Structure 1
């Protein structure tokens, strides 16, 4: 317990298993919505330092149950979810506890009302400045709709494809996040994804587009790293690799697939809906900068 928050308890977990034990009922109730947090947690259970440093796994509980869930894998952004009714008191306790425990928060993502409340409290407590980052939409697919497929086929990436995969992986991050998302760990993430058998190409006959299965949950899996080089775009390759990879995931036993899109890109949002992806929630990102450095 913390002074001033007599009915709320902030807890940080060093053990991902214990964190999941507390959060699992919430995660499973809305598995597609909380799939990002659940998938990362399951990955951390297998390898605590999969993303590099010590992850932040935290909850805020009150007499009414679980009020907030927070997860961060430095140097990546903080994720915040509010399973129950939105609570300003819980948000302020989270911000003050993170600051008191010395956590650096480069950005925060989640549903708008929670993220905006955290932004105000973090700026006040940590002395940062902030600006709005990417606005994303989370989609869910349970049935792949028929679409026109261009020439070519789906092929699983092999270790011989590592150099190309790393290059395209970095280009994917730069296209999606600009300079706001660290790319230093991409080489290892891409290599791990290939070794896990989860990176795929659309080949015609050489690779023309890429996508990956990532962060599997109990019943679902996410599709990410969707990338087509600029000179090959407009040929339907991204639609093909996502549609066929989604079908592959469902045929392999998953009940649903999820993916995130950039709301500023109407083309990708339209393409994925034609494949069968339905909107689940809109996700907002706020990026933070140190007030002193931003004033220089």
Structure 2
């Protein structure tokens, strides 16, 4: 039996072999590690850019109780931790000489780790923002449904997809921008996308989703250009990709929302999504 405590590795297969059952036991709150690990496993170690990802798992009496991952040049993403667990992880990583630009986790865990990291390193945490995590209950398609249909994008749509994803990034203020050169390591490259198209074939809204892993699919992103909003297109395309995920066997269909966007939060609740918890991101000076 392995000793109790945190065990770190750069080997995604080793991490998945030890922590996979734990991560799959709560597919909704573990949506990020599940999809990150699956992408690294299928696309290779450079899927998120050059450099080695780091994985960690907390073992007690031979069982995994928590896990984290850190992608190259990015912050820490742990699963839920008690305040004591967050302090133990912060002390362990600080003792190994890690420098972290941010932590992203369930909001109580993120806050506990931010406080602990400041105690152990002196780095000052600043709350960057929060996100709501929703899980689909009973899908309720919008009524009336706007005219048109959903269409899954193929290879011939890549140039159009680049433009739409760049439009989304610009609209929400994300960085870096999306272009042909950065596409392969962007957060969009492993998604499957669907257009909602008007009856004449003009795309009016876009939704992406992750491949199924552990029975979980995450809808991300959903984007309608500003001049086409308010016509029900976002609801239609979200319902379409959600229906397709359920038809493919997904047991957990999830998505994140910006708490400040009352319109999108109300829309997803009407479609049958139920708020599970909040996530938070703290930057470290």
Shared fold per TM-score greater than 0.5: yes
Residue 275 (structure 1) shift: 0.8
Which 4+ residue blocks in structure 1 deviate beyond 4 angstroms? 181-186
Structure 2 distance, partners of 1:98, 1:215, is: 31
The answer to whether the aligner puts 1:94 opposite 2:76 as a matched pair is no
Partner of 1:202: 196
Distance 1:206 1:35, change over 3 A: same
Partner of 2:57: 59
SS at match of 2:267: helix
Partner of 1:141: 136
Structure 2 distance, partners of 1:105, 1:170, is: 27
Residue 186 (structure 1) shift: 5.2
Contact 1:211 1:241 in 2 (8 A): yes
The answer to whether the aligner puts 1:21 opposite 2:17 as a matched pair is yes
Structure 2 distance, partners of 1:164, 1:190, is: 17
Contact 2:27 2:252 in 1 (8 A): no
For residues 204-246 of structure 1, the C-alpha deviation after alignment (integer angstroms, 9 at most, x for no partner) is 1211111111152121211102111111111111111100111
Structure 1 distance, partners of 2:105, 2:111, is: 9
Residue 140 (structure 1) shift: 1.1
SS at match of 1:12: strand
Structure 1 distance, partners of 2:202, 2:67, is: 43
The answer to whether the aligner puts 1:70 opposite 2:68 as a matched pair is yes
Structure 2 distance, partners of 1:251, 1:238, is: 20
Contact 2:141 2:236 in 1 (8 A): no
For residues 113-134 of structure 1, the C-alpha deviation after alignment (integer angstroms, 9 at most, x for no partner) is 2111111122333332222122
The answer to whether the aligner puts 1:45 opposite 2:41 as a matched pair is yes
| Equivalent position to 2:222, from 222, 226, 236 | 226
Residue segments in structure 1 that go unaligned for 5+ positions in a row: 1-6, 290-296
Structure 2 distance, partners of 1:186, 1:255, is: 32
**If the length of structure 2 is used for normalisation, what is the TM-score?**
0.86
Contact 1:261 1:268 in 2 (8 A): yes
Partner of 1:293: none
Equivalent runs, 1:226-245 vs 2, <5 Å? 226-245=222-241
Structure 2 distance, partners of 1:171, 1:78, is: 28
Distance 1:252 1:169, change over 3 A: same
Q: How many residues in Structure 1 have an aligned counterpart in Structure 2?
A: 275
The answer to whether the aligner puts 1:288 opposite 2:279 as a matched pair is no
Structure 1 distance, partners of 2:77, 2:252, is: 22
Structure 2 distance, partners of 1:215, 1:263, is: 25
Contact 1:166 1:190 in 2 (8 A): no
